[in-house]
């Protein structure tokens, strides 16, 4: 190959952040709880900072006769309107709550963790010994995300012996594993899928023929029945009518192959993680009445002694005073900018997803990208990505991560866009209405959606169908 040396000109675009912007981004990434710790650390290390005491506000919070003024800020604002009818229907307000406010908000657990759920049930067993309690914690901690237990009793016994310093044998661990397998959700601590299904069938109510045959099918024909077309052979082998086998297979298909699926997103290292929402949106009578930035960061101020010290350049410690004073001012400016940016972000999100916040209906969510919020706030996408990471908002419909509100757009022939959620709803209605004697394949479902104006591909339809919990066409067909 002939080699040559030459020059080329290329145009590239890069985002260069100033040191101040980099510091701001690092603060935006922090949650409210993390930022509170950051502020307390800064307060401890910088002698020029102190917690603010608003003595002026205390004096102003008195009436002319010296009595304490008891009206809240909202009551004062509401007093500006003649009646409730005169108030605007969409009055948004920021609420920066300080650490000493009376409105204490206890930590919110993102979801009941699988480990807590199981151990709570075990603690109700009064016959459980202290040693069994320790073993149970190790057994539960070794469950996989799907709820299966693939580690051996012997290896768990070794863990308990060497890590908890409690000598136990394999038989003791197996006894506790059997206890865990009897807990809810059914199928927990199964060794594999077959074992999981058998555990669930064994817990089904009603000693009917379909349930009994379902157990036999999974127990004896686990590798055969999923392929379909073997119902007649299975029926002949079990000595029952084929329609009984059909009903039994329907029983099996209603089982949950992942018994821990109700505890989604849980990992062993994240169990018990608490979530403190960073924002709150309140709704009353079908309208948004408040958007709150739940600020638990202590209110800080520059020490007056350091402000006075700047007036004496001849002091021997003047350089030290000036350095820490500048650090304190910069930190306070950074805190203010962080609050302003975060509030602008939640305000833009609520503005775009207003209908969801009012109704709680996920189908009301509109397509939204970071680019859309960039246009509203003036913040770069890369900054917004970090600002919305690990941030949560408390809504009347539960605590939601900010990323919940960002939805990809699905194009429609009309030129308008909708969300994948709405397309899934349409797909569900098509499948629900199909002829069960001749169910639609993914290709046919794709054609139906395309005919209705939605530009989706076959693999996307397959993904939506699986997310909705529908099996392939061959498994939806009436037998």
DSSP state of 299: P
Task: Return the number of other C-beta atoms located less than 10 Å from residue 20's C-beta.
Answer: 12
CA 256 to chain centre: 22
Cβ-contact 404, 390 below 8 angstroms: no
The pLDDT of residue 76: 44
pTM of the model: 0.51
Q: How far is 398 from 409, CA to CA, in rounded Å?
A: 24
The pLDDT of residue 172: 93
The pLDDT of residue 79: 52
- From residue 146, alpha-carbon distances to 141, 198, 228, 263, 470 in Å are 13, 16, 25, 9, 20
Q: How far is 204 from 199, CA to CA, in rounded Å?
A: 9
Q: What does residue 394 show for φ and ψ, rounded to 5 degrees? A: -90, 115
The pLDDT of residue 311: 87
Nearest to 259, CA basis, from 195, 216, 213: 195
The pLDDT of residue 269: 42
Mean pLDDT by 10 residues, the chain (479 residues): 55 56 82 88 91 56 50 47 47 45 46 76 79 90 87 87 86 92 89 89 78 86 64 84 85 84 51 69 90 88 90 87 92 92 93 91 84 88 83 87 82 69 81 85 86 81 78 80
The pLDDT of residue 5: 60
The pLDDT of residue 295: 83
Q: How far is 295 from 339, CA to CA, in rounded Å?
A: 8
Q: How far is 245 from 225, CA to CA, in rounded Å?
A: 10
- Helices assigned H by DSSP within 124-228: 130-141, 153-163, 170-181, 193-202, 209-221
Which tokens go with 151?
Answer: 């580690």
Query: What residue has token string 């309208």?
Result: 287
The pLDDT of residue 301: 92
Cβ-contact 119, 136 below 8 angstroms: yes
DSSP letter string, 19-38: HHHHHHHHHHHS-HHHHHHH
The pLDDT of residue 351: 92
The pLDDT of residue 262: 66
Q: Which residues contact residue 355 at a Cβ distance below 8 angstroms, ignoring those fewer than 6 apart? A: 361, 364, 366
The pLDDT of residue 327: 93
The pLDDT of residue 286: 86
């Amino acid at each position: 190959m002939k080699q040559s040396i030459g020059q080329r000109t290329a145009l590239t675009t890069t985002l260069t952040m100033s040191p101040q912007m980099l510091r701001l981004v690092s603060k935006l990434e922090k949650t409210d709880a993390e930022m509170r710790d950051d502020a307390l650390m800064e307060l401890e290390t910088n002698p020029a900072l102190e917690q603010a005491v608003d003595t002026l506000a205390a004096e102003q919070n008195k009436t002319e006769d010296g009595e304490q003024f008891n009206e809240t800020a909202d009551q004062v604002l509401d007093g500006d309107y003649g009646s409730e009818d005169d108030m605007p229907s969409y009055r948004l307000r920021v609420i920066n709550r300080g650490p000493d406010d009376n409105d204490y908000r206890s930590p919110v657990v993102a979801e009941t963790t699988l480990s807590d759920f199981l151990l709570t049930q075990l603690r109700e067993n009064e016959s459980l010994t202290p040693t069994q309690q320790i073993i149970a914690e190790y057994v539960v901690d070794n469950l996989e995300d799907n709820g299966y237990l693939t580690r051996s009793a012997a290896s768990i016994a070794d863990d308990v012996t060497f890590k908890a310093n409690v000598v136990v044998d394999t038989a003791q661990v197996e006894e506790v594993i059997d206890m865990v397998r009897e807990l809810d959700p059914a199928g927990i601590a199964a060794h594999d899928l077959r074992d999981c299904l058998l555990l669930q069938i064994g817990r089904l109510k009603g000693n009917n023929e379909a349930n009994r045959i379902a157990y036999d099918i999974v127990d004896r024909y686990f590798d055969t029945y999923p392929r379909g077309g073997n119902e007649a052979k299975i029926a002949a082998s079990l000595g029952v009518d084929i329609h009984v086998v059909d009903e039994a297979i329907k029983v099996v298909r209603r089982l949950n192959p992942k018994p821990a699926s109700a505890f989604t997103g849980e990992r062993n290292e994240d169990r018990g993680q608490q979530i403190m929402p960073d924002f709150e949106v309140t709704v009353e009578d079908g309208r948004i009445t408040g958007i709150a930035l739940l600020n638990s960061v202590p209110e800080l101020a520059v020490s007056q002694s350091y402000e006075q010290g700047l007036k004496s350049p001849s002091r021997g410690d003047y350089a030290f005073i000036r350095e820490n004073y500048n650090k304190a001012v910069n930190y306070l400016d950074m805190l203010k900018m962080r609050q302003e940016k975060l509030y602008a972000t939640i305000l833009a999100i609520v503005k775009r997803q207003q209908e969801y916040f009012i109704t709680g209906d996920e189908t009301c969510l509109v397509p939204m990208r970071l680019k859309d919020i960039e246009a509203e706030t003036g913040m770069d996408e890369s900054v917004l990505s970090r600002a919305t990471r690990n941030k949560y908002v408390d809504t009347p419909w539960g605590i939601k991560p900010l990323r919940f509100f960002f939805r990809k757009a699905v194009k429609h022939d009309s030129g308008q866009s909708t969300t994948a959620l709405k397309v899934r709803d349409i797909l569900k209605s098509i499948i629900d209405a199909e002829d069960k004697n001749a169910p639609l394949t993914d290709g046919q479902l794709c054609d139906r959606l395309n005919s209705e104006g939605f530009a989706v591909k076959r693999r996307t339809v397959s993904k939506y169908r699986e997310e909705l919990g529908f099996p392939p066409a061959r498994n939806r067909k009436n037998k």
